[in-house]
A and B are shown apart, each in its own frame.
Chain A
């Protein structure tokens, strides 16, 4: 039988700081094992942690985006447990007081909006990695040896703990994807799931069908993708249901998800539950976050996705669905906005300052938005209908035309935008189409040519002879020629076979080498044939 479930998540994201959270070692991935370590992150006797302010600032971004209450004075604590890749024998984290509490993630589940509550947000250090390598022909026979790589020790993490507000696997998936999108948008994490930049732990409990109370939750750790989270939840809900169906009770357990075997195995049960012996970290003072610091972070903080979509609608008059497609990923959103700004400039509708490079560097921070809105207020000569029209055209180019090229060629958009097709170049291609210099098919050819070569767009237009033929007498000559060449089709069209008009338009276009203005061709055909 289907049961009501309550699901919560602990999402850990590695923060994309320059250095580690408590020392000056580089916070990077890759490299030889144990090559980015120092006395502090190795936990050598006598070494002391010093808090990296950048890690706090990225944590504040997350708190602001989730509308959490930032704690004016929080503290660090030691979580004591033994593991070979935890060199101090404890993890420095936050426990009694955390960076922020409360807040929510706004989730869209198949068109229905749902708020998932956030319990708290805290920052902490990551541990190292243990790998088990087999060995053989040892004096004691063969077996496996544990090798420890401490490069990851002290990489900053933000942990976002949700309330158990999620009531289905679909909601869980939507929650994780939305939170992930927000983290990527905020630029706080590299976000590469396969590298473990973002990791999920979940807790699941089944609601009592009679009184609605929550059952004992079980925790599943080690979820490294959205897919494994979904599978693990399904596994655990079925497992608990079976126990209850058989009249049993759920014991609190911590399970470890095995992605290959697609099953969760118990890590430890309540009897042997770890007592972490939390106590205040004496090596670090309180973390004091004043309003000034929060304001500073807010000022240079990228816009979270929902706000971003809303602004696209408000500023550019984009349709809601277009705005959502554009803001699915910050790369697309930034590229779109940059292209549109350039298009307005190329078309002479906005001053050059609209493409202020400083604002692009800051991407979509408050700083950049304020500068942009000033430019907008100074824009003249653009009608209220014209901007939404150009915005939709630009959106179509970015998502459909460029999107198709990106998919076909297996290049990611960011690379393209940074190399062969910067926003300014794409804007010139779009401008050629908007001005009617080229027709639709020629525009597509121009796009490919603009990506393939570095020639200026106007030179490409000339060299490839793509300029659209819009001269009425030239088109009339072309149409007349085609009508003479296809008397049978003309006859059938006159007899009422209307679809043949498209055949004739196609023939004229072919005759013109693809350059004729198709709208004009249609009109001329209708006129010469005397049809409406």
Chain B
């Protein structure tokens, strides 16, 4: 087995036992990047090889001296390029932020460093995290490592592809409406969207502030859990973080889920869901039942309105959050523009991509006087109803299991002319963002065409330990842990 094929748990054990060094791990990640980036385009920037090797060497030296090391010491981690990193640039995959280098690190990035992780680079995404396919990037589309003719999902497509292909052991993504879970599902890895308020948003470039959360990605459950533990907890710089203690997210596999109540919504396997996806999810539920879980069906009354509600509120917030990009004091400015109005209009017209502009327009309308009550306010009321649905569901259930997406990864440009069809593929992921609760996606098998199928496990707010417990037991009992795929060499378009 090659080093880049190791899961987080295997890599950490190897480091602890001295089987290999952090330098070896970083070398292997860099080698893999060299080998597959041409096909995948997962990274926007990779750090300088020398800087990475020096940093890895320091970790190895500290380990040799017997110093106490952080829980992620020496582990190569990729960071989505909408999370601020001082000195590494942060573009949000947008032309408008070309050349912008934040003067500060996001809280999550500081905590990553404190935990000893080595940031290998910044990953590609849909521009400003707006998209579910990673085709909307000023730096070009990201390809799915399982089939480079298909999308990796989005918006954290770069992070998902990098982890799936072994370019990094772990990655940070961000999940506003499924943006960690959906690409994790498409790429066959574990992706976690923590409860709203669990991880500081300070330094995460805002898309839709009341939904955005930084999430974690790994090829195993423990990797995602350990990374989440490292970045979680209250932050005095983010007023929306929670003071609730951060419990243990990792634990031992017991082979026992007795007493755990698992809810399966009817629509999980119903209309619009690919039969192979439905089959894989039901098989996963059977594994949980065989471990002793109590499985029952449930109905989430208002879930059919989730996508509409989500897109209205998220776009409204986005229209305000993106107002600051005017080409005046940082980022890119339209060439040759003169005078205030011309600079602003031309910069925003030329430097935002089509999807971002579409959402700014929709969001602006949703807030306009005369429309506010009918759109924004009504959408917020639906959001409350959906949160209430979950609140009552979690009185009966510990976790809710659904597919992550109705289908496996779709082809590039498959939804290019139909944004609505793409939005509807978020039907299972956005409810957790609307309700602010915890959810993860993990692989539950491969389709007949060899594409990963994602299983979503949702738990109540701050009930991440229960979510991880079910995921860990399922991972161990099912034996479904996907290998690192061979990445077919393709010529990608610019």
Which residue of B210, B330, B369, B376 contacts A44 across the interface (Cβ within 8 Å)?
Answer: B330
Whether the Cβ atoms of A282 and B210 lie closer than 8 Å is yes
Q: How far is the CB of A221 from chain B (nearest CB, A)?
A: 20
Whether the Cβ atoms of A283 and B203 lie closer than 8 Å is no
Which residue of A44, A47, A51, A90 contacts B323 across the interface (Cβ within 8 Å)?
Answer: A90
- Produce 1/0 per residue, A279-311, CB < 8 A to B: 100111100000000000000000000000000
Which B residues are CB-close (under 8 A) to A285?
239-240
Whether the Cβ atoms of B106 and A84 lie closer than 8 Å is no
Q: How far is the CB of B371 from chain A (nearest CB, A)?
A: 10
Report the Cα distance A78→B363, complex, angstroms: 14
Q: How far is the CB of A319 from chain B (nearest CB, A)?
A: 52
Whether the Cβ atoms of B320 and A80 lie closer than 8 Å is yes
Q: How far is the CB of A506 from chain B (nearest CB, A)?
A: 75
Which A residues are CB-close (under 8 A) to B204?
46
Report the Cα distance A45→B372, complex, angstroms: 26
Q: How far is the CB of B122 from chain A (nearest CB, A)?
A: 13
Q: Choose among B206, B344, B376 the residue with the greatest number of A CB atoms under 10 Å from its CB.
A: B206
Whether the Cβ atoms of A46 and B367 lie closer than 8 Å is no
Q: Does A39 contact B (CB under 8 A)?
A: yes
Q: How far is the CB of A19 from chain B (nearest CB, A)?
A: 13
- Produce 1/0 per residue, B312-331, CB < 8 A to A: 00001101101110101110
Report the Cα distance A499→B210, complex, angstroms: 88
Report the Cα distance A147→B282, complex, angstroms: 63
- Produce 1/0 per residue, B201-215, CB < 8 A to A: 111111011100000
Q: Does A89 contact B (CB under 8 A)?
A: yes
Majority DSSP secondary structure for residues of B touching A? loop
Q: Does B340 contact A (CB under 8 A)?
A: yes
Q: Does B423 contact A (CB under 8 A)?
A: no
Question: Closest residue of chain B to A150, judged by CB?
Answer: B329
Q: If the complex has contacts A46-B204, A46-B206, are A78 and B239 also in contact, measured as CB distance less than 8 A?
A: no
Which residue of A42, A78, A82 contacts B326 across the interface (Cβ within 8 Å)?
Answer: A82
Whether the Cβ atoms of A275 and B202 lie closer than 8 Å is no
Report the Cα distance A44→B372, complex, angstroms: 27
Q: Does A49 contact B (CB under 8 A)?
A: yes
Q: Does B407 contact A (CB under 8 A)?
A: no
Which residue of B100, B210, B326, B368 contacts A45 across the interface (Cβ within 8 Å)?
Answer: B100
Q: Does A87 contact B (CB under 8 A)?
A: yes
Q: How far is the CB of B113 from chain A (nearest CB, A)?
A: 17
Majority DSSP secondary structure for residues of A touching B? loop
Q: Does A230 contact B (CB under 8 A)?
A: no
Which A residues are CB-close (under 8 A) to B338?
140
Whether the Cβ atoms of A89 and B367 lie closer than 8 Å is no
Whether the Cβ atoms of B320 and A279 lie closer than 8 Å is yes
Q: If the complex has contacts A46-B84, A277-B369, A284-B239, are A87 and B320 also in contact, measured as CB distance less than 8 A?
A: no
Which A residues are CB-close (under 8 A) to B316?
279
Which residue of B201, B205, B237, B320 contacts A78 across the interface (Cβ within 8 Å)?
Answer: B320
Q: If the complex has contacts A50-B237, A88-B323, A283-B240, are A45 and B364 also in contact, measured as CB distance less than 8 A?
A: no
Q: How far is the CB of A240 from chain B (nearest CB, A)?
A: 26
Report the Cα distance A80→B367, complex, angstroms: 10
Q: If the complex has contacts A48-B238, A275-B369, A282-B209, are A146 and B97 also in contact, measured as CB distance less than 8 A?
A: no
Q: Does A422 contact B (CB under 8 A)?
A: no
Whether the Cβ atoms of B209 and A80 lie closer than 8 Å is no
Question: Closest residue of chain A to B202, judged by CB?
Answer: A48
Q: Does B102 contact A (CB under 8 A)?
A: yes
Whether the Cβ atoms of A84 and B206 lie closer than 8 Å is no
Which A residues are CB-close (under 8 A) to B319?
80, 277
Question: Closest residue of chain B to A140, judged by CB?
Answer: B338
CB interface residues, B 263-321, toward A, < 8 Å: 316-317, 319-320
Q: Does A43 contact B (CB under 8 A)?
A: yes
Q: If the complex has contacts A44-B102, A45-B92, are A90 and B238 also in contact, measured as CB distance less than 8 A?
A: no
Q: How far is the CB of A283 from chain B (nearest CB, A)?
A: 5
Q: Does B66 contact A (CB under 8 A)?
A: no
CB interface residues, B 103-146, toward A, < 8 Å: 103-104, 106
Q: How far is the CB of A20 from chain B (nearest CB, A)?
A: 14
Which A residues are CB-close (under 8 A) to B97?
45
Q: Does B392 contact A (CB under 8 A)?
A: no
Report the Cα distance A140→B209, complex, angstroms: 42
Whether the Cβ atoms of B330 and A47 lie closer than 8 Å is no
Whether the Cβ atoms of A282 and B317 lie closer than 8 Å is yes
Question: Closest residue of chain A to B206, judged by CB?
Answer: A46
Report the Cα distance A146→B339, complex, angstroms: 9
Which B residues are CB-close (under 8 A) to A90?
320, 323
Whether the Cβ atoms of B324 and A45 lie closer than 8 Å is yes
Whether the Cβ atoms of B367 and A277 lie closer than 8 Å is yes
Report the Cα distance A140→B202, complex, angstroms: 42
Report the Cα distance A480→B323, complex, angstroms: 93
Q: Choose among B97, B208, B210 the residue with the greatest number of A CB atoms under 10 Å from its CB.
A: B210
Whether the Cβ atoms of B368 and A39 lie closer than 8 Å is no
Q: Does B449 contact A (CB under 8 A)?
A: no
Which B residues are CB-close (under 8 A) to A50?
236-239
Whether the Cβ atoms of A45 and B369 lie closer than 8 Å is no
Which A residues are CB-close (under 8 A) to B367?
80, 277-279
Q: How far is the CB of A143 from chain B (nearest CB, A)?
A: 9
Q: How far is the CB of B337 from chain A (nearest CB, A)?
A: 13
Q: How far is the CB of B204 from chain A (nearest CB, A)?
A: 5
List 7 contacting pairs A-B, 8 Å CB cutoff, sorted by A. Answer: A42-B329, A45-B84, A45-B97, A47-B202, A84-B326, A89-B326, A275-B369
A interface with B by C-beta (< 8 Å): 39, 42-51, 78, 80, 82, 84, 87-90, 140, 146, 148, 275, 277-279, 282-285
Further 18 A-B residue pairs, CB within 8 A, beyond A48-B237, A278-B367: A44-B103, A45-B90, A45-B100, A46-B201, A46-B202, A47-B202, A48-B201, A48-B239, A80-B323, A87-B329, A88-B324, A148-B328, A277-B320, A277-B364, A277-B369, A279-B316, A282-B210, A283-B240
Closest 9 interchain pairs by CB?
A89-B323, A277-B367, A282-B210, A282-B209, A45-B205, A46-B203, A46-B84, A46-B205, A89-B324
